[in-house]
Amino acid sequence: MIRSNDGSNPSSSAKICVPVCVTDLSVLRTVEPADFIELRLDYLEREPENLAEVLHKISGPVILTFRPSEQGGHRQLTREARLNFWNNVAPRGERIWWDIEGDLAHELSPDWSRVIISHHDFNSVPDDLHDIYQRLAATPAHVVKIAFQAHDIIDCIPAFELLFRARRDGHEIIPIAMGNAGIATRVLGPSQGAFLTYGSLDDENATAPGQVTARHLRELYRVSEIDKDTVVCGLIGLPVMHSVSPQIHNGWFASERLNGVYLPFEVRDVHSFVRRMVRPRTRELNWNLRGLSVTAPHKQAVMEHLDWIDPKAIEIGAVNTITVDADRLLGYNTDAPGFTDPLFKKFESLEGRRAAVIGAGGAARAAIWALRQQKAEVTIFTRNVPKAQPLAESFSVNCEPLASATFGDYDLVVNTTPLGSGAFIDQSPVTAEQLYGVRIAYDLIYNPADTRFLREARKAECDAIGGLEMLVAQAKIQFELWTGRKVD
C-alpha cells in the first residue's frame, strides 16, 4: 500500500541550489528564491568588481564558483588566476560558501565549514571514483561534491554508493551523475542524504548535462516530499526525455495525495538494468521501486526477465508495463486497451473495418492485436516487407510495401513508426496524396502533438487522432496496476 501524503509523511531535508550564469553581474537585478544560490563567476567576461553589491541582493546562502574549463567551467582559467581569486578577491561571510576544486585544497586557507570541495568528470564514471572521494574527504571541507557523466541508468549506482559510504563516514556529500541518464541522482539524492541538489533557472540556463529546472524539482517531482518510503516508478527506454509520462503520473500522485514519484530512466542495457536495479533479490540500490513503463527499444527484450506475463501481453509479443510484486516481476501490455479507447469515440464498432498499420515494432504489435480482437481487417505497411513478414504471419495478416501504398479504401490508417518525433520530427511515413479517402488517421506519436503525419492527414481531409489520447488511456491502467487507484 502506498502511504498518503496527508501530513503524516515527514518531508525530507531536500535543499535546492539554483546556479546563476551571467556574463555581467551589473545586469543581475533579482534572483529567484532558493535554499542556495550559486554564482558561476567563471561565466563573467571580466573579473567581478561589484560582487559585494550583488551579494546584498541575495538574502540566503550563496555558493561562489570559479571553475576552470577542464572541470566544466565556462572559460579557461590558469591555476594562478584561480588562486588569486580565492586568496584575494572572493568575499567571506556567514552565508557565503566556496566551491573549490580538489587540486587547490592544500593551497588555500578558507573557512572550511563553508567549503564544497569538488571534482568533475565529463567523460564517464571514473575508474578511481572511491579514491577521488577519499582524497576529497580527507580535506577539512564541509561538503564533498563529485559529478561524473552517466551514459546509462546503471551509472547512477556508483553515485548512490558514494552516498552510502559518506553517511557511514559521517561526511556531507553531493554525488551527481550528469546527463539524461543521471536524473535519478538529482531527484532522489536528497532523500538518500545528499547535502543538496542543483536545479537550473530554466532549460536554457542549465550548467551541467541533465540538470533539471528548480521548478520541476519542486513542483513536478516534489523533491521535498520524497523520503525513504516513497514509491518509485519510471519510464525505461532510449530516448525518454521527450516523454510527458512524468507530467501525467506525477500529476496523479499529487492529486491522489500518494507518496510516489515517477522518473525518466534512460536505459541502454536493459539486461543489466533489471539485474542491478530492478529485481529485488539482485538489485544494488536501496529504493522502493514499484513499477515501470517500458518504451522502445525494450518492449520485447524485457520479457525474458519477467516472472509472469499476462496472457494478452504474450499474445501481443510485447510488454509495456512492469509491476514489482514482492520478489516477482509481472509484465502487462496496456498499449492495446489504450490504443482502442480513442477509436471507440469515433466508431461504434471496429468489426469489419479496414485498418492499415504502418510499422512493425512493439507499438505495431499492440495495435494489430487490439484491432484483431475487435475483428477489424488489418494490413501491415512497411518499408522492409521481408523483415516484417514474421510479424504479419504471427497475426495472420497481410504485409504490403509502404512506398507504393494508397489508402483511399481504408477506414483507419495508424502510424506506429517514430517518424514525426525526435530526429525525424519533420518526416511523415506517408503523404496527403496517399491518405485521400481515409476516414481516420491515427498517429501514436504524442510529442510533438501536431506531427507531420497529422498535418498530411488534415490536408487529405481525414479525421485525425494524436497519440496523447492513447498515452493517457494506457497510463491510467498502469497507475491502477501500481497503486490500486483509479484516476480520472
- The confidence score (pLDDT) of residue 73 equals 81
> What average pLDDT does the chain have?
92
The Cα–Cα gap between 453 and 464 comes to 9
Q: Is residue 237 part of a domain?
A: no
b/e for 51-75, b at 16 or more Cβ within 10 A? beebbeebeebbbbbbbbeebbbbe
The answer on 170 and 49 residing in a single domain is yes
Burial class (CB in 10 A: 0-12, 13-18, 19+), 437: middle
- The total number of structural domains in the chain stands at 3
Domain assignment present for residue 5? The answer is: no
Whether residues 320 and 362 share a domain: the answer is: no
Does one domain contain both 305 and 359? no
Query: Which of 333, 350, 385 is the C-terminal boundary of a domain?
Result: 333
In a domain, 477, yes or no: no
Quick one: 298 and 445 in the same domain?
Answer: no
Q: 122 with 255, same domain?
A: no
The verdict on 259 and 186 lying in the same domain is no
In the chain, which residues have pLDDT < 70?
A: 1-12, 26-33, 48-49, 205, 207
Residue type, 276: R
CATH number of the CATH domain containing 185: 3.20.20.70
Residue 25 in any domain: the answer is yes
* Domain-terminating residue out of 271, 302, 333: 333
pLDDT of residue 422: 83
CA angle 333, 335, 339 (to 5 degrees): 145
CATH code: domain of residue 407: 3.40.50.720
Residue 279, strand partner residues:
none
Domain coverage including residue 436 = 337-471
Q: Is 78 a member of any domain?
A: yes
Same domain flag for 290 and 143: no
Residue 46's pLDDT is 73
Same-domain check for residues 463 and 321: no
Could you tell me if residue 486 is inside a domain?
no
Within this chain, do residues 352 and 327 fall inside the same structural domain, yes or no?
A: no
Per the annotation, the verdict on 346 as an active-site residue is: no
As given in the structure block, the three cell numbers for residue 367 are: 495495435
Choose the final residue of a domain: 277, 303, 333: 333
487 within a domain of the structure (yes/no): no
- Do residues 262 and 216 both lie within one domain? no
Burial of 303 (0-12, 13-18, 19+ CB in 10 A): middle
- Judged by DSSP in three states, 467 sits in helix
pLDDT score recorded for residue 210: 79
Q: Identify the CATH number of the domain in which residue 267 sits.
A: 3.40.50.10860
What pLDDT is stored for residue 10 in this prediction? 40
Asked whether residue 236 is domain-assigned, the answer is no
Question: How far apart are the C-alpha atoms of 283 and 275, rounded to whole Å?
Answer: 6
Are 117 and 203 in the same domain? yes
Tell me: do 65 and 182 sit in the same domain: yes
DSSP structural state of residue 3: P
Catalytic residue among 299, 312, 345, 459: 299
